[in-house]
Amino acid sequence: MDKAQMAEIYDRLHDAVYRTAFAYLRNRQDAEDITHDVFLQRFAREEPFPDGEQEKAWMLRVTINRCKDLLRSFRRKNSVPLEEAAQIPARTSDERAVWDAVNALPARYRILVHLHYAEGYTLREIAKMTHQTETAVQTQLYRARKRLRAILGEEFTL
């Protein structure tokens, strides 16, 4: 794979990989580290993908696995560092509130919310990506929404 091909893949997928890693880890530096590793893993893979969507799904699956490994390896605390919170690009108070509420969810819910609402994946696709059953994903999303409603109150709609 030459440099131009690598750059093309990076330009096409870097945001999705980075945002997914950030949704899981809530830390810029860690998310960039994961992005770095995931792309190196992608470039090392010689087997081609049938289409771009499958390639993206594969990369997000690798991202999630690497995030899990990272979290598992040194038991990160479930909190957003202050400097990170200040840099979050929310423009309105609503955006800020929803962002904070999603980030207050446990990691397993947060990643599902991100994949479904930000990346637009269906429950079935998420189930495949996260190695769970569709029912399990559905239930966790149900609980996540319930939790978000509890945090944000009646003003929050889906």
Q: Is 3 in the site for another protein (CB under 8 A)?
A: yes
Contacts 24+ apart (CB under 8 A), 47-56: 52/12, 55/9, 55/13, 56/13, 56/16
Task: Dig out the tokens for 141 from the structure.
Answer: 């999303």
- What DSSP line would sit under 71-136, residue for residue? HHHHT--SS--HHHHHH----SHHHHHHHHHHHTS-HHHHHHHIIIIIS---HHHHHHHTT--HHH
Per CB under 8 A, the list member of 12, 36, 52, 54 interacting with another protein is: 36
Tell the residue number behind the tokens 């945001």, with chain if given.
Answer: 15
Q: Which is nearer to another protein, 83 or 157 (CB)?
A: 157
Site for another protein (CB under 8 A): which residue of 30, 41, 56, 128? 41
CB of 97 to another protein, least distance (A): 6
Which residue among 8, 12, 15, 122 contacts another protein (CB under 8 A)? 15
Planar angle of CA 59, 65, 67, nearest 5 degrees: 100
Residue 83 contacts another protein per CB under 8 A: no
Residues lying near another protein in the complex (CB under 8 A): 3, 6-7, 10, 14-15, 18-19, 22-23, 31-33, 35-41, 43-44, 66, 68-70, 72-75, 78, 88-92, 94-99, 102, 104, 106-108, 113-114, 117-118, 131-133, 135-136, 138-140, 142, 146, 150, 152, 155-158
